Structure 1
Protein backbone atom coordinates (compact mmCIF):
# COMPACT_ATOMS: atom_id res chain seq x y z
CA UNK A 1 0.00 0.00 0.00
CA UNK A 2 1.36 3.46 -0.90
CA UNK A 3 0.92 5.07 2.53
CA UNK A 4 -1.18 4.81 5.67
CA UNK A 5 -3.68 7.52 4.66
CA UNK A 6 -7.36 6.60 4.86
CA UNK A 7 -9.61 8.59 2.52
CA UNK A 8 -13.38 8.53 2.95
CA UNK A 9 -16.02 9.59 0.47
CA UNK A 10 -19.64 10.01 1.46
CA UNK A 11 -22.35 12.34 2.65
CA UNK A 12 -21.38 15.48 4.54
CA UNK A 13 -24.21 15.65 7.05
CA UNK A 14 -25.15 17.14 10.40
CA UNK A 15 -26.78 14.80 12.92
CA UNK A 16 -29.84 16.01 14.82
CA UNK A 17 -30.58 13.59 17.66
CA UNK A 18 -33.64 13.30 19.89
CA UNK A 19 -34.47 10.77 22.60
CA UNK A 20 -38.01 9.40 22.46
CA UNK A 21 -40.10 6.26 22.85
CA UNK A 22 -40.94 3.31 20.64
CA UNK A 23 -44.54 4.57 20.56
CA UNK A 24 -43.34 7.92 19.24
CA UNK A 25 -41.46 6.19 16.45
CA UNK A 26 -44.47 4.09 15.50
CA UNK A 27 -46.51 7.25 14.90
CA UNK A 28 -44.33 7.82 11.83
CA UNK A 29 -44.53 4.20 10.57
CA UNK A 30 -40.77 3.84 10.95
CA UNK A 31 -39.14 0.41 11.26
CA UNK A 32 -36.72 0.77 14.14
CA UNK A 33 -33.02 0.71 13.44
CA UNK A 34 -32.87 1.58 9.74
CA UNK A 35 -32.62 4.64 7.53
CA UNK A 36 -35.27 6.26 5.34
CA UNK A 37 -35.20 9.49 3.37
CA UNK A 38 -37.24 12.47 4.51
CA UNK A 39 -37.62 16.07 3.41
CA UNK A 40 -36.52 18.93 5.63
CA UNK A 41 -40.20 19.65 6.34
CA UNK A 42 -40.81 16.02 7.36
CA UNK A 43 -37.80 16.14 9.66
CA UNK A 44 -39.11 19.32 11.26
CA UNK A 45 -42.54 17.77 11.77
CA UNK A 46 -40.96 14.90 13.69
CA UNK A 47 -38.83 17.26 15.78
CA UNK A 48 -41.87 19.42 16.54
CA UNK A 49 -43.91 16.36 17.59
CA UNK A 50 -41.32 15.46 20.23
CA UNK A 51 -41.03 17.18 23.58
CA UNK A 52 -37.29 16.46 23.64
CA UNK A 53 -34.56 19.03 22.90
CA UNK A 54 -32.42 17.99 19.91
CA UNK A 55 -28.63 17.53 20.11
CA UNK A 56 -26.75 18.71 16.98
CA UNK A 57 -23.38 17.21 15.98
CA UNK A 58 -21.47 16.59 12.72
CA UNK A 59 -22.33 13.26 11.06
CA UNK A 60 -22.45 11.10 7.97
CA UNK A 61 -21.31 7.47 8.08
CA UNK A 62 -18.00 7.69 6.22
CA UNK A 63 -17.22 11.05 7.80
CA UNK A 64 -17.77 9.64 11.30
CA UNK A 65 -15.23 6.94 10.49
CA UNK A 66 -12.70 9.34 9.00
CA UNK A 67 -12.97 11.76 11.91
CA UNK A 68 -12.30 8.80 14.19
CA UNK A 69 -9.17 7.96 12.20
CA UNK A 70 -8.01 11.55 12.59
CA UNK A 71 -8.67 11.46 16.33
CA UNK A 72 -6.60 8.29 16.59
CA UNK A 73 -3.72 10.23 15.07
CA UNK A 74 -4.00 8.68 11.63
CA UNK A 75 -3.55 10.39 8.28
CA UNK A 76 -7.08 11.04 7.01
CA UNK A 77 -8.99 12.79 4.23
CA UNK A 78 -12.72 13.27 3.57
CA UNK A 79 -14.41 13.93 0.21
CA UNK A 80 -17.94 15.33 0.18
CA UNK A 81 -20.26 18.25 -0.54
CA UNK A 82 -21.72 20.84 1.85
CA UNK A 83 -23.99 23.83 1.74
CA UNK A 84 -22.90 27.43 2.10
CA UNK A 85 -24.61 27.76 5.48
CA UNK A 86 -24.00 27.61 9.22
CA UNK A 87 -24.48 23.85 9.33
CA UNK A 88 -21.85 23.50 6.62
CA UNK A 89 -19.46 25.66 8.64
CA UNK A 90 -20.06 23.51 11.72
CA UNK A 91 -19.31 20.43 9.65
CA UNK A 92 -16.11 21.68 8.03
CA UNK A 93 -14.74 23.18 11.24
CA UNK A 94 -15.15 19.84 12.99
CA UNK A 95 -13.40 18.02 10.13
CA UNK A 96 -10.40 20.32 10.41
CA UNK A 97 -10.33 20.14 14.22
CA UNK A 98 -10.06 16.36 13.94
CA UNK A 99 -6.90 16.71 11.81
CA UNK A 100 -8.69 15.51 8.70
CA UNK A 101 -8.02 17.04 5.28
CA UNK A 102 -11.34 18.24 3.81
CA UNK A 103 -11.88 17.92 0.04
CA UNK A 104 -15.27 19.60 -0.20
CA UNK A 105 -17.51 20.97 -2.92
CA UNK A 106 -19.76 23.91 -2.02
CA UNK A 107 -23.39 24.46 -3.08
CA UNK A 108 -26.17 26.94 -2.39
CA UNK A 109 -28.41 24.02 -1.36
CA UNK A 110 -28.53 23.62 2.45
CA UNK A 111 -26.16 21.17 4.13
CA UNK A 112 -27.72 17.72 4.57
CA UNK A 113 -29.13 16.62 7.91
CA UNK A 114 -29.92 13.27 9.55
CA UNK A 115 -32.60 13.21 12.20
CA UNK A 116 -31.98 10.25 14.52
CA UNK A 117 -34.67 9.18 16.98
CA UNK A 118 -32.96 7.31 19.81
CA UNK A 119 -35.27 4.93 21.68
CA UNK A 120 -34.76 3.74 25.31
CA UNK A 121 -32.89 0.62 24.09
CA UNK A 122 -30.29 3.03 22.57
CA UNK A 123 -31.25 2.08 18.99
CA UNK A 124 -31.28 4.96 16.50
CA UNK A 125 -33.72 5.25 13.63
CA UNK A 126 -32.70 7.73 10.96
CA UNK A 127 -34.62 10.14 8.75
CA UNK A 128 -32.21 11.60 6.17
CA UNK A 129 -32.35 14.75 4.05
CA UNK A 130 -29.21 14.63 1.92
CA UNK A 131 -29.33 18.28 0.93
CA UNK A 132 -26.07 19.47 -0.66
CA UNK A 133 -24.36 16.15 0.03
CA UNK A 134 -26.26 14.58 -2.89
CA UNK A 135 -24.86 17.12 -5.36
CA UNK A 136 -21.28 15.87 -5.47
CA UNK A 137 -20.56 15.47 -9.19
CA UNK A 138 -19.32 11.98 -10.15
CA UNK A 139 -17.24 13.59 -12.92
CA UNK A 140 -15.39 15.61 -10.28
CA UNK A 141 -14.26 12.51 -8.38
CA UNK A 142 -10.74 11.78 -9.61
CA UNK A 143 -7.91 9.44 -8.74
CA UNK A 144 -5.94 12.48 -7.52
CA UNK A 145 -8.41 12.78 -4.63
CA UNK A 146 -7.20 9.35 -3.49
CA UNK A 147 -3.50 10.03 -4.01
CA UNK A 148 -1.23 8.32 -1.45
CA UNK A 149 -4.27 6.49 -0.04
CA UNK A 150 -3.83 3.09 1.60
CA UNK A 151 -7.55 2.50 2.17
CA UNK A 152 -10.47 4.26 0.51
CA UNK A 153 -13.64 4.02 2.56
CA UNK A 154 -16.67 4.31 0.30
CA UNK A 155 -19.88 4.95 2.18
CA UNK A 156 -22.51 2.27 1.61
CA UNK A 157 -25.24 4.90 1.28
CA UNK A 158 -23.63 5.94 -2.03
CA UNK A 159 -25.34 2.86 -3.47
CA UNK A 160 -28.38 5.14 -3.66
CA UNK A 161 -26.32 7.32 -6.05
CA UNK A 162 -24.91 4.69 -8.36
CA UNK A 163 -23.02 7.01 -10.69
CA UNK A 164 -21.19 8.49 -7.72
CA UNK A 165 -20.53 5.06 -6.22
CA UNK A 166 -18.98 3.81 -9.45
CA UNK A 167 -16.91 6.97 -9.87
CA UNK A 168 -15.61 6.61 -6.32
CA UNK A 169 -14.58 2.94 -6.50
CA UNK A 170 -13.01 3.35 -9.96
CA UNK A 171 -11.00 6.42 -8.87
CA UNK A 172 -9.86 4.72 -5.68
CA UNK A 173 -8.74 1.56 -7.47
CA UNK A 174 -6.96 3.63 -10.13
CA UNK A 175 -5.02 5.33 -7.33
CA UNK A 176 -3.91 1.94 -6.00
CA UNK A 177 -5.94 1.99 -2.79
CA UNK A 178 -7.69 -0.89 -1.10
CA UNK A 179 -11.44 -0.21 -1.23
CA UNK A 180 -13.45 -0.67 1.96
CA UNK A 181 -17.25 -0.80 1.79
CA UNK A 182 -19.47 -0.70 4.86
CA UNK A 183 -22.90 -2.00 3.86
CA UNK A 184 -24.53 0.81 5.88
CA UNK A 185 -28.02 -0.64 6.52
CA UNK A 186 -30.19 -3.58 5.55
CA UNK A 187 -32.38 -1.15 3.59
CA UNK A 188 -29.39 -0.15 1.45
CA UNK A 189 -28.56 -3.80 0.76
CA UNK A 190 -32.14 -4.72 -0.14
CA UNK A 191 -32.41 -1.78 -2.53
CA UNK A 192 -29.08 -2.58 -4.24
CA UNK A 193 -29.16 -6.32 -4.77
CA UNK A 194 -29.11 -6.00 -8.56
CA UNK A 195 -25.59 -4.48 -8.55
CA UNK A 196 -24.08 -5.17 -5.16
CA UNK A 197 -22.54 -8.61 -5.73
CA UNK A 198 -20.80 -7.50 -8.93
CA UNK A 199 -19.63 -4.26 -7.35
CA UNK A 200 -18.02 -6.17 -4.48
CA UNK A 201 -16.46 -8.73 -6.82
CA UNK A 202 -14.94 -6.11 -9.10
CA UNK A 203 -13.86 -3.38 -6.70
CA UNK A 204 -14.11 -4.13 -2.97
CA UNK A 205 -11.23 -5.42 -0.82
CA UNK A 206 -12.68 -4.90 2.67
CA UNK A 207 -16.39 -5.64 3.24
CA UNK A 208 -17.98 -4.69 6.57
CA UNK A 209 -21.48 -5.70 7.72
CA UNK A 210 -23.57 -6.20 10.83
CA UNK A 211 -25.91 -9.16 11.26
CA UNK A 212 -28.91 -7.60 9.51
CA UNK A 213 -26.82 -6.36 6.59
CA UNK A 214 -25.00 -9.66 6.23
CA UNK A 215 -28.27 -11.59 6.22
CA UNK A 216 -29.71 -9.28 3.55
CA UNK A 217 -26.53 -9.52 1.46
CA UNK A 218 -25.97 -13.28 1.69
CA UNK A 219 -29.47 -14.60 2.29
CA UNK A 220 -28.10 -16.52 5.27
CA UNK A 221 -29.24 -16.24 8.89
CA UNK A 222 -26.49 -18.50 10.28
CA UNK A 223 -23.58 -16.21 11.07
CA UNK A 224 -20.86 -18.71 10.17
CA UNK A 225 -22.36 -19.28 6.74
CA UNK A 226 -23.01 -15.57 6.29
CA UNK A 227 -19.39 -14.72 7.12
CA UNK A 228 -18.14 -17.32 4.65
CA UNK A 229 -20.29 -15.82 1.89
CA UNK A 230 -19.28 -12.28 2.87
CA UNK A 231 -15.67 -13.30 2.31
CA UNK A 232 -16.22 -14.26 -1.34
CA UNK A 233 -14.01 -12.10 -3.60
CA UNK A 234 -12.69 -9.81 -0.84
CA UNK A 235 -9.48 -9.69 1.17
CA UNK A 236 -11.12 -8.90 4.50
CA UNK A 237 -14.73 -9.68 5.47
CA UNK A 238 -16.04 -8.30 8.76
CA UNK A 239 -19.20 -9.47 10.53
CA UNK A 240 -20.20 -7.43 13.57
CA UNK A 241 -22.49 -9.27 15.99
CA UNK A 242 -23.37 -6.50 18.44
CA UNK A 243 -22.69 -7.15 22.10
CA UNK A 244 -21.06 -10.50 21.19
CA UNK A 245 -18.22 -8.79 19.34
CA UNK A 246 -17.19 -9.38 15.73
CA UNK A 247 -15.44 -11.74 13.31
CA UNK A 248 -12.85 -11.00 10.64
CA UNK A 249 -12.28 -13.42 7.75
CA UNK A 250 -8.87 -13.02 6.10
CA UNK A 251 -6.64 -15.49 4.23
CA UNK A 252 -9.06 -18.37 4.84
CA UNK A 253 -8.85 -17.81 8.58
CA UNK A 254 -11.41 -16.36 11.00
CA UNK A 255 -10.38 -14.13 13.90
CA UNK A 256 -12.91 -13.58 16.67
CA UNK A 257 -12.85 -10.10 18.20
CA UNK A 258 -14.12 -9.95 21.77
CA UNK A 259 -16.52 -7.14 22.70
CA UNK A 260 -15.70 -4.45 25.22
CA UNK A 261 -17.99 -4.85 28.22
CA UNK A 262 -18.93 -2.09 30.62
CA UNK A 263 -21.73 0.41 30.95
CA UNK A 264 -25.00 0.07 29.07
CA UNK A 265 -25.13 2.10 25.83
CA UNK A 266 -26.60 5.59 25.87
CA UNK A 267 -26.95 5.88 22.08
CA UNK A 268 -25.73 3.54 19.32
CA UNK A 269 -25.36 6.34 16.75
CA UNK A 270 -21.99 5.90 15.06
CA UNK A 271 -21.17 2.58 16.73
CA UNK A 272 -20.43 0.82 13.44
CA UNK A 273 -18.73 3.90 12.00
CA UNK A 274 -16.32 4.20 14.91
CA UNK A 275 -15.71 0.45 14.94
CA UNK A 276 -14.60 0.87 11.33
CA UNK A 277 -12.36 3.79 12.34
CA UNK A 278 -10.41 1.65 14.76
CA UNK A 279 -10.24 -1.39 12.51
CA UNK A 280 -9.21 0.45 9.34
CA UNK A 281 -6.65 2.53 11.25
CA UNK A 282 -5.14 -0.71 12.47
CA UNK A 283 -5.05 -2.33 9.03
CA UNK A 284 -3.59 0.82 7.40
CA UNK A 285 -0.88 0.96 10.06
CA UNK A 286 0.04 -2.75 9.82
CA UNK A 287 -1.38 -3.78 13.19
CA UNK A 288 -2.38 -7.46 13.52
CA UNK A 289 -6.01 -8.26 12.73
CA UNK A 290 -6.84 -9.05 16.35
CA UNK A 291 -5.34 -5.75 17.54
CA UNK A 292 -7.13 -3.83 14.77
CA UNK A 293 -10.40 -5.46 15.73
CA UNK A 294 -9.87 -4.75 19.42
CA UNK A 295 -9.24 -1.09 18.61
CA UNK A 296 -12.49 -1.10 16.64
CA UNK A 297 -14.35 -2.62 19.57
CA UNK A 298 -12.98 0.02 21.96
CA UNK A 299 -13.99 2.88 19.64
CA UNK A 300 -17.43 1.35 19.07
CA UNK A 301 -17.99 0.92 22.80
CA UNK A 302 -16.90 4.44 23.73
CA UNK A 303 -19.10 6.17 21.15
CA UNK A 304 -22.11 4.35 22.61
CA UNK A 305 -21.46 6.11 25.92
CA UNK A 306 -22.39 9.52 24.47
CA UNK A 307 -25.15 11.03 22.35
CA UNK A 308 -24.04 11.28 18.75
CA UNK A 309 -20.93 10.00 17.00
CA UNK A 310 -18.32 12.29 18.59
CA UNK A 311 -16.18 10.69 21.30
CA UNK A 312 -14.88 13.32 23.80
CA UNK A 313 -11.22 14.33 23.57
CA UNK A 314 -10.03 12.85 26.90
CA UNK A 315 -11.52 9.48 25.95
CA UNK A 316 -9.55 9.51 22.69
CA UNK A 317 -6.36 9.87 24.73
CA UNK A 318 -7.34 6.75 26.68
CA UNK A 319 -8.09 4.88 23.45
CA UNK A 320 -4.77 5.87 21.85
CA UNK A 321 -2.93 4.58 24.89
CA UNK A 322 -4.14 1.06 24.01
CA UNK A 323 -2.55 1.08 20.54
Structure 2
Protein backbone atom coordinates (compact mmCIF):
# COMPACT_ATOMS: atom_id res chain seq x y z
CA UNK A 1 0.00 0.00 0.00
CA UNK A 2 1.44 3.35 -1.05
CA UNK A 3 1.51 5.83 1.81
CA UNK A 4 -0.13 9.12 0.90
CA UNK A 5 -0.06 12.06 3.28
CA UNK A 6 -0.67 15.79 3.03
CA UNK A 7 1.82 17.78 5.10
CA UNK A 8 1.71 21.22 6.66
CA UNK A 9 4.92 23.10 7.51
CA UNK A 10 5.31 25.93 10.04
CA UNK A 11 8.66 27.73 10.01
CA UNK A 12 10.07 31.23 9.63
CA UNK A 13 13.25 29.79 8.11
CA UNK A 14 13.03 29.56 4.29
CA UNK A 15 15.78 26.92 4.27
CA UNK A 16 13.75 24.67 6.57
CA UNK A 17 10.67 25.16 4.41
CA UNK A 18 12.73 24.41 1.28
CA UNK A 19 14.20 21.30 2.92
CA UNK A 20 10.76 20.01 3.88
CA UNK A 21 9.48 20.73 0.38
CA UNK A 22 12.32 18.57 -0.98
CA UNK A 23 11.49 15.90 1.62
CA UNK A 24 7.84 15.83 0.53
CA UNK A 25 8.80 15.57 -3.15
CA UNK A 26 11.39 12.86 -2.45
CA UNK A 27 8.89 10.55 -0.77
CA UNK A 28 5.81 11.39 -2.79
CA UNK A 29 3.91 13.36 -0.14
CA UNK A 30 1.79 16.42 -0.84
CA UNK A 31 2.84 19.71 0.72
CA UNK A 32 -0.60 21.17 1.48
CA UNK A 33 0.46 24.22 3.48
CA UNK A 34 3.78 25.95 4.17
CA UNK A 35 3.67 29.05 6.35
CA UNK A 36 5.42 31.02 9.07
CA UNK A 37 4.24 31.29 12.69
CA UNK A 38 3.95 35.06 12.13
CA UNK A 39 1.33 34.47 9.44
CA UNK A 40 -0.64 32.36 11.92
CA UNK A 41 -0.43 35.15 14.50
CA UNK A 42 -1.79 37.61 11.94
CA UNK A 43 -4.72 35.30 11.18
CA UNK A 44 -3.70 34.56 7.60
CA UNK A 45 -3.65 30.76 8.06
CA UNK A 46 -6.62 28.53 8.80
CA UNK A 47 -6.59 25.10 10.42
CA UNK A 48 -6.42 23.21 7.14
CA UNK A 49 -8.62 20.12 7.30
CA UNK A 50 -6.71 18.55 4.42
CA UNK A 51 -3.41 18.31 6.35
CA UNK A 52 -2.61 14.87 7.81
CA UNK A 53 0.40 15.99 9.86
CA UNK A 54 2.03 19.32 10.72
CA UNK A 55 5.81 19.78 10.89
CA UNK A 56 6.91 22.62 13.18
CA UNK A 57 10.45 23.95 13.63
CA UNK A 58 12.14 24.64 16.97
CA UNK A 59 12.25 28.42 16.64
CA UNK A 60 8.52 28.74 15.97
CA UNK A 61 7.80 28.69 19.70
CA UNK A 62 9.74 31.93 20.16
CA UNK A 63 7.06 33.77 18.20
CA UNK A 64 5.38 36.42 20.39
CA UNK A 65 1.63 36.20 20.81
CA UNK A 66 -0.94 33.54 21.65
CA UNK A 67 -2.60 32.73 18.32
CA UNK A 68 0.17 30.34 17.29
CA UNK A 69 -0.16 28.21 20.44
CA UNK A 70 -3.95 28.28 20.18
CA UNK A 71 -3.66 27.16 16.55
CA UNK A 72 -1.60 24.12 17.60
CA UNK A 73 -3.92 23.27 20.48
CA UNK A 74 -6.91 23.21 18.13
CA UNK A 75 -5.31 20.73 15.72
CA UNK A 76 -6.81 17.24 15.70
CA UNK A 77 -4.01 15.71 13.59
CA UNK A 78 -0.46 14.73 14.62
CA UNK A 79 2.23 17.39 15.01
CA UNK A 80 5.98 16.75 14.80
CA UNK A 81 7.94 19.41 16.70
CA UNK A 82 11.52 20.58 16.88
CA UNK A 83 12.63 20.46 13.25
CA UNK A 84 15.92 22.08 12.27
CA UNK A 85 17.77 22.72 9.02
CA UNK A 86 18.77 19.62 7.10
CA UNK A 87 22.43 18.88 6.48
CA UNK A 88 24.09 19.74 3.17
CA UNK A 89 26.03 16.46 3.34
CA UNK A 90 24.24 13.90 1.17
CA UNK A 91 24.83 10.92 3.47
CA UNK A 92 23.79 12.83 6.58
CA UNK A 93 20.77 14.26 4.76
CA UNK A 94 19.59 10.76 3.83
CA UNK A 95 19.78 9.69 7.49
CA UNK A 96 17.91 12.83 8.58
CA UNK A 97 15.19 12.22 6.01
CA UNK A 98 14.88 8.58 7.05
CA UNK A 99 14.54 9.64 10.68
CA UNK A 100 11.81 12.14 9.82
CA UNK A 101 10.07 9.58 7.62
CA UNK A 102 10.03 7.12 10.51
CA UNK A 103 8.43 9.71 12.80
CA UNK A 104 5.88 10.59 10.14
CA UNK A 105 4.90 6.97 9.50
CA UNK A 106 4.62 6.30 13.23
CA UNK A 107 2.53 9.43 13.89
CA UNK A 108 0.13 9.08 10.97
CA UNK A 109 -0.12 5.34 10.30
CA UNK A 110 0.82 3.75 13.65
CA UNK A 111 2.56 0.65 12.19
CA UNK A 112 3.30 -0.59 15.72
CA UNK A 113 -0.43 -1.39 16.03
CA UNK A 114 -0.26 -3.86 13.14
CA UNK A 115 0.35 -7.54 13.73
CA UNK A 116 3.93 -8.56 12.93
CA UNK A 117 4.48 -10.89 10.00
CA UNK A 118 7.42 -12.69 8.41
CA UNK A 119 9.23 -11.32 5.36
CA UNK A 120 10.64 -13.67 2.72
CA UNK A 121 13.16 -12.54 0.13
CA UNK A 122 12.91 -14.48 -3.14
CA UNK A 123 16.32 -14.23 -4.82
CA UNK A 124 16.75 -15.36 -8.41
CA UNK A 125 18.71 -14.91 -11.61
CA UNK A 126 18.80 -17.09 -14.77
CA UNK A 127 15.69 -19.29 -14.82
CA UNK A 128 14.23 -17.37 -11.90
CA UNK A 129 10.98 -16.05 -13.42
CA UNK A 130 9.78 -19.55 -14.28
CA UNK A 131 10.78 -20.95 -10.89
CA UNK A 132 9.30 -18.08 -8.87
CA UNK A 133 6.08 -18.17 -10.89
CA UNK A 134 5.70 -21.90 -10.21
CA UNK A 135 6.27 -21.18 -6.50
CA UNK A 136 3.83 -18.27 -6.24
CA UNK A 137 1.11 -20.02 -8.26
CA UNK A 138 0.80 -22.62 -5.49
CA UNK A 139 0.32 -20.14 -2.63
CA UNK A 140 -3.02 -18.96 -1.20
CA UNK A 141 -3.95 -15.28 -1.05
CA UNK A 142 -4.28 -15.25 2.75
CA UNK A 143 -0.74 -16.41 3.53
CA UNK A 144 0.40 -14.25 6.50
CA UNK A 145 3.79 -13.31 5.02
CA UNK A 146 5.23 -10.66 2.74
CA UNK A 147 7.51 -11.46 -0.21
CA UNK A 148 10.29 -9.26 -1.64
CA UNK A 149 11.23 -10.54 -5.08
CA UNK A 150 14.76 -9.69 -6.27
CA UNK A 151 15.29 -10.87 -9.86
CA UNK A 152 18.45 -10.12 -11.85
CA UNK A 153 17.16 -8.44 -15.02
CA UNK A 154 17.68 -5.38 -17.15
CA UNK A 155 15.14 -2.56 -16.94
CA UNK A 156 13.22 -3.70 -20.04
CA UNK A 157 12.77 -7.23 -18.74
CA UNK A 158 11.92 -5.95 -15.28
CA UNK A 159 8.90 -4.01 -16.57
CA UNK A 160 7.36 -7.19 -18.03
CA UNK A 161 8.13 -9.29 -14.97
CA UNK A 162 5.10 -8.21 -12.94
CA UNK A 163 2.68 -9.47 -15.58
CA UNK A 164 4.52 -12.77 -15.90
CA UNK A 165 4.70 -13.75 -12.24
CA UNK A 166 1.35 -12.27 -11.26
CA UNK A 167 -0.74 -13.68 -14.10
CA UNK A 168 -1.95 -16.80 -12.27
CA UNK A 169 -0.99 -15.98 -8.67
CA UNK A 170 -3.57 -15.59 -5.90
CA UNK A 171 -1.23 -13.19 -4.11
CA UNK A 172 -1.15 -9.55 -5.16
CA UNK A 173 2.03 -8.51 -6.97
CA UNK A 174 3.27 -4.90 -6.84
CA UNK A 175 6.13 -2.70 -7.97
CA UNK A 176 7.35 -0.18 -5.39
CA UNK A 177 5.52 3.13 -5.69
CA UNK A 178 6.62 5.93 -3.39
CA UNK A 179 6.78 4.96 0.28
CA UNK A 180 5.10 1.55 0.44
CA UNK A 181 3.68 0.15 3.67
CA UNK A 182 4.48 -3.56 3.44
CA UNK A 183 1.50 -5.88 3.83
CA UNK A 184 1.14 -9.65 4.32
CA UNK A 185 -0.31 -11.57 1.41
CA UNK A 186 1.61 -9.48 -1.12
CA UNK A 187 4.66 -9.75 -3.37
CA UNK A 188 6.82 -6.66 -3.95
CA UNK A 189 9.19 -6.67 -6.92
CA UNK A 190 12.45 -4.96 -6.07
CA UNK A 191 13.53 -2.27 -8.54
CA UNK A 192 16.47 -2.66 -10.90
CA UNK A 193 17.37 1.02 -11.15
CA UNK A 194 17.59 1.88 -7.42
CA UNK A 195 18.44 0.31 -4.10
CA UNK A 196 15.81 0.36 -1.36
CA UNK A 197 15.53 1.14 2.34
CA UNK A 198 13.20 -0.06 5.08
CA UNK A 199 11.85 2.30 7.75
CA UNK A 200 9.06 1.56 10.25
CA UNK A 201 7.51 -1.21 8.16
CA UNK A 202 7.81 0.71 4.90
CA UNK A 203 9.98 0.17 1.83
CA UNK A 204 11.04 2.85 -0.63
CA UNK A 205 13.58 3.55 -3.35
CA UNK A 206 16.74 5.42 -2.35
CA UNK A 207 17.48 6.73 -5.87
CA UNK A 208 21.02 5.38 -5.37
CA UNK A 209 22.33 2.41 -7.38
CA UNK A 210 22.69 -1.04 -5.87
CA UNK A 211 26.13 -1.85 -4.45
CA UNK A 212 28.13 -4.24 -6.61
CA UNK A 213 27.56 -5.56 -10.12
CA UNK A 214 24.11 -7.14 -9.69
CA UNK A 215 20.82 -5.31 -10.30
CA UNK A 216 19.14 -5.70 -7.91
CA UNK A 217 21.76 -6.86 -5.41
CA UNK A 218 20.37 -9.79 -3.41
CA UNK A 219 23.26 -9.47 -0.97
CA UNK A 220 22.52 -5.81 -0.22
CA UNK A 221 18.79 -6.45 0.00
CA UNK A 222 19.26 -9.31 2.47
CA UNK A 223 21.52 -7.21 4.69
CA UNK A 224 18.93 -4.46 4.87
CA UNK A 225 15.99 -6.83 5.37
CA UNK A 226 17.84 -8.74 8.07
CA UNK A 227 18.68 -5.50 9.88
CA UNK A 228 15.12 -4.18 9.62
CA UNK A 229 13.19 -7.36 10.46
CA UNK A 230 15.60 -9.55 12.44
CA UNK A 231 14.46 -13.16 12.80
CA UNK A 232 11.33 -12.38 10.81
CA UNK A 233 13.54 -12.04 7.71
CA UNK A 234 13.91 -15.22 5.65
CA UNK A 235 15.16 -16.12 2.18
CA UNK A 236 14.66 -18.61 -0.64
CA UNK A 237 17.37 -18.93 -3.30
CA UNK A 238 15.94 -19.86 -6.68
CA UNK A 239 17.56 -20.73 -10.01
CA UNK A 240 20.38 -18.44 -11.03
CA UNK A 241 23.97 -17.91 -12.06
CA UNK A 242 26.58 -16.49 -9.72
CA UNK A 243 26.66 -16.36 -5.92
CA UNK A 244 24.79 -13.14 -5.17
CA UNK A 245 23.45 -13.33 -1.60
CA UNK A 246 25.56 -16.30 -0.54
CA UNK A 247 27.83 -14.32 1.80
CA UNK A 248 25.10 -13.27 4.22
CA UNK A 249 23.22 -16.58 4.19
CA UNK A 250 25.26 -18.10 7.02
CA UNK A 251 24.82 -15.00 9.20
CA UNK A 252 21.06 -15.08 8.68
CA UNK A 253 20.83 -18.77 9.53
CA UNK A 254 22.91 -18.26 12.66
CA UNK A 255 20.56 -15.49 13.81
CA UNK A 256 17.50 -17.71 13.43
CA UNK A 257 16.27 -16.80 9.96
CA UNK A 258 15.10 -19.54 7.63
CA UNK A 259 17.28 -20.22 4.59
CA UNK A 260 15.70 -22.35 1.86
CA UNK A 261 16.84 -23.20 -1.67
CA UNK A 262 15.54 -24.63 -4.91
CA UNK A 263 16.91 -28.10 -5.62
CA UNK A 264 19.74 -28.12 -8.16
CA UNK A 265 18.12 -30.68 -10.46
CA UNK A 266 15.07 -28.42 -10.95
CA UNK A 267 17.09 -25.28 -11.79
CA UNK A 268 17.86 -23.84 -15.21
CA UNK A 269 21.11 -22.72 -13.54
CA UNK A 270 22.00 -24.18 -10.16
CA UNK A 271 25.00 -21.98 -9.28
CA UNK A 272 23.13 -19.55 -7.01
CA UNK A 273 21.23 -22.08 -4.86
CA UNK A 274 24.23 -24.41 -4.76
CA UNK A 275 26.40 -21.60 -3.37
CA UNK A 276 24.13 -21.68 -0.32
CA UNK A 277 23.35 -25.41 -0.24
CA UNK A 278 27.10 -26.12 -0.06
CA UNK A 279 27.24 -24.21 3.25
CA UNK A 280 24.91 -26.83 4.81
CA UNK A 281 22.62 -24.20 6.29
CA UNK A 282 19.48 -24.76 4.21
CA UNK A 283 16.48 -25.84 6.23
CA UNK A 284 14.58 -26.93 3.11
CA UNK A 285 15.76 -27.87 -0.42
CA UNK A 286 13.06 -28.71 -2.96
CA UNK A 287 11.41 -27.85 -6.27
CA UNK A 288 9.52 -24.53 -6.47
CA UNK A 289 6.10 -26.17 -6.11
CA UNK A 290 7.29 -28.32 -3.20
CA UNK A 291 8.80 -25.25 -1.51
CA UNK A 292 5.36 -23.63 -1.76
CA UNK A 293 3.76 -26.69 -0.16
CA UNK A 294 6.31 -26.59 2.66
CA UNK A 295 5.71 -22.88 3.22
CA UNK A 296 1.94 -23.37 3.39
CA UNK A 297 2.42 -26.16 5.92
CA UNK A 298 4.75 -23.98 8.01
CA UNK A 299 2.17 -21.23 8.47
CA UNK A 300 -0.84 -23.50 8.76
CA UNK A 301 0.70 -24.98 11.89
CA UNK A 302 1.42 -21.62 13.55
TM-score scaled by length of structure 2:
0.38
Structure with higher Rg: it is: 2
User: Which is strand-richer, 1 or 2?
Assistant: 1
Which structure's relative contact order is higher, taking Cα pairs within 8 Å and 6+ residues apart? 1
